[in-house]
Amino acid sequence: MCGNNMSAPLPAIVPAARKATAAVIFLHGLGDTGHGWAEAFAGIRSSHIKYICPHAPVMPVTLNMNMAMPSWFDIIGLSPESQEDEPGIKQAAENVKALIEQEMKNGIPSNRIILGGFSQGPISGVNRDIAILQCHGDCDPLVPLMIASLTSEKLKMLVNPANVTFKTYQGMMHSSCQQEMMDIKQFIDKLLPPID
């Protein structure tokens, strides 16, 4: 499932407790793996939803002095003016598309699949009618709240602005918290209710 001609292990999966009628595909952040997020989703899971947390390929990351680490694409810098790894982002999007197509082959319709991510998880080819939940800590030292706010405004230009929810969490750094996970669960359960 990996981009940039590098391989990665199979995704961490939290299977549905009964027949899967929906799926959540969630991309981890730079330097992480899908395991921690799979564990987090196991704690908030709904019995009809399969949670898929793929692992990024290991590659050199320019921002981190070319150290090799799990990354969906190269990151050159963090400022809005920084050059972007467009080929790497496109490859990551293709890999996500392949995961979505696999779940559709498994019998889950595309409108019952949610794509999410932490920090580096990309969004491309967005449907204007999709719902977006963007969460951010107000004390994040890596991705300042101002950048998250700009991202939210950009998302509102790409999709119906009424479908974008931006939540901030007081005191949260570049991580997640219990309230955020509960908000994510509520968002997922609203969009993917049981159908049987």
Choose among 74, 70, 77, 78: nearest CA to 54: 70
Q: For this structure, is 74 an active site residue? A: no
d(CA 72, CA 55): 9
Quick count: other Cβ atoms within 10 Å of Cβ 88?
19
The catalytic residue among 35, 149, 174, 175 is 174
For residue 16, what are the CA distances in angstroms to 44, 47, 191? 12, 5, 16
Burial letters 114-146, b for 16+ CB under 10 A, else e:
bbbbbbbbebeeeeeebebbebbbeebeebeee
φ, ψ of residue 4 in degrees (nearest 5): 55, 35
The catalytic residue among 46, 48, 55, 119 is 119
The catalytic residue among 32, 74, 85, 140 is 140
Q: Report, as residue numbers or ranges, the catalytic residues.
A: 119, 140, 174
